[in-house]
Each structure stands twice: as C-alpha cells, then as structure tokens.
Amino acid sequence: MDKFERRRQALARLKEKLGWGAIAKIAAAIGKEPSYVSRMLYPEGKQGRKRIGEDTAELLTRHFPDWLGEVEGDDSAANASPLESAEMVWPFPSIPEKTVRALGDADLRRLEGAIALAIAQLSLKMEVAPALAAPKAKPQPIVLPVEQAANDPGYVAIPLKKIKIRAGVAGFSLDQTGNGTAGAVYVPRAWLAKRGINPEVAFASHVGGMSMWPRVQEGDVVVVNPGDTERRNGIVYAFNHDGEFVLKRLKKQLNRWYLTSDNPDKTQFPPVHADEATFMIGRAVLLQAEEI
C-alpha cells in the first residue's frame, strides 16, 4: 500500500468521523469543490480519481491535525500480503464491527442471509434498498380566505418561491413566483411562534412529482423551515439531492440515513442513500393540498 492509498483511507475515516456534511467541510478546509473531495476518495483504478498530494495533505493536517492517525509513514501495511491487508480493514465503516460481533448465532445467520441476498441483487443490477416503516402523519394545513388573511395582523404571509439549487453546492436561492396575495401562503402568527418558526426565513414552494403520494400530490404547496435542519428519523424534509429539489421522509437504517418516499410503489420510488451529494434545505412544516 503506497502513501496515496494510506492517505485516501485516512480521508475516508475522517469523512465518517465528521458525519453529515463531511465532504463540504473538507472541501472548505482545502479550498476545493465538494466534487473534488469525492474524487479524492475514489479507489485506485477508478476513472477521475484525485490523489492526495503533499500540499493537500499539509492543508488537511492544518485543519484536522489527527486525520492521518498512525497511518502516514507506517509501511507495515505495504509489506503485508493482499490477504492480510484485506483482513486488517473492516469493510463497513458506518457499521461498527463490535456491533456485528455482539450478535448471537441466530442473528448472525439472518445477517448472513441478508448480505447474500443483497449481493445476489447487486449481481443482477437490482437496486438494494431497505424496507420502509409505515409513514407518520403529516401536519394539517391551516387555510383562510386570501382577502381576509392578507389584512389580518394575526396572520403572516409566507412567500411562494421557486427554489434554485446546484449539484454539489449546499446553498440555495429563491425566486418569487407570484405577486401580492397570489404569491403567498397565509399562516397564523401564533402557530409559527409556538413552533419556533421564523416567518422571515420560511418559504413555500410547489411540490413536483408523485413520490410522496398519497399524502402529497404534484402541485401541492409545502411550507419549508430552513431554520430546522436537525436530522430526525421519520420526519419529512426538503433536500437538494444531486442538484434536484426533493421532498422526502428521512429514515435511519443500520446507522445510515436514507431519503424515502411515502409512495408504496418502491420499484419506481426506492429509498436513496443520503450521501455527500445530499444537502438538507429544511423541514417541511405545513402542507396546502389541492385535494383532500
């Protein structure tokens, strides 16, 4: 194992240690785009891989002093046989080895069967995805006639916006989609205050697609709170996933986060791993539906 591979493995461990948004944090530290950092993690032989040179390694050490651990300069792995090297590296960084070894014999057999099934599915080019639990109830919309709400100090106008995002970039921008009362959703001020939602930050946007059907349909309007980006299992959030604005229910399976759809057609709407190309925009707090 050469120094570049040792650095790549150390960077992979740093990514797991930093958790959510790790790619963006590392990119900011070394002055590169998140996509560049992703390519630094490519294994040897994969097209587009970026090696971690001396300058980049120095920048990483400056911002993350312990990122190399005991890896850099340790040639013991380089002198090991391929079999020994494979045995030294636990292949599932997001699943603690001790958790697996603590399982009983019966559970280990079940896990073995699940892995065998997943490998078979991968060999057939099928997408491997975890099963979904029953969706939780969503908040009910609060609706008032526009003419009355627009002149009622007890209500706040949440602007209807068109969101603009780019792949690999955490930020987003908003464009107004309408004028006056036609371009806003009116929500009780007390309702927002009770939930700690800043009306100056929240925005409303139309939902595209049918991935969250039957609760959410194409054309419905959802109010998003960018001030709430704390990951919680089973909650619906708006995401920038690979440059696309999506509304998904966040689920945690085996220490991994997935973007899941409420639509029962899992062939068309399978769970998607929330990777470095996924950026949370905010929690979906209110739905204004076209149909009941």
How confident is the model over 209-258, as pLDDT tens digits? 889 988 898 889 999 999 999 999 999 999 988 778 889 999 998 889 99
Q: Mean pLDDT across the stretch 159-181?
A: 62
Q: Is the pLDDT of residue 124 over 90?
A: no
Q: Give the pLDDT confidence score for residue 122 in this predicted structure.
A: 77
Burial of 237 per CB tally in 10 Å (0-12, 13-18, 19+): buried
List, in sequence order, the alpha helices (H) in 160-243.
189-194
Angstrom CA distances, 130 to 35, 218, 262, stand at 27, 25, 14
Tens of pLDDT, residues 42-63: 888 888 888 898 888 888 988 8
Predicted confidence at residue 257, as pLDDT, reads: 92
Enter the tokens of residue 4: 């570049």
Q: What is the pLDDT of residue 191?
A: 92
Task: Decide: pTM greater than 0.85.
Answer: no
Q: With CA atoms as reference, report the closest residue to 80 among 5, 10, 15.
A: 5
Longest alpha-carbon distance in the chain: 77
Which among 235, 256, 251 has a CA at the least distance from the CA of 99? 256
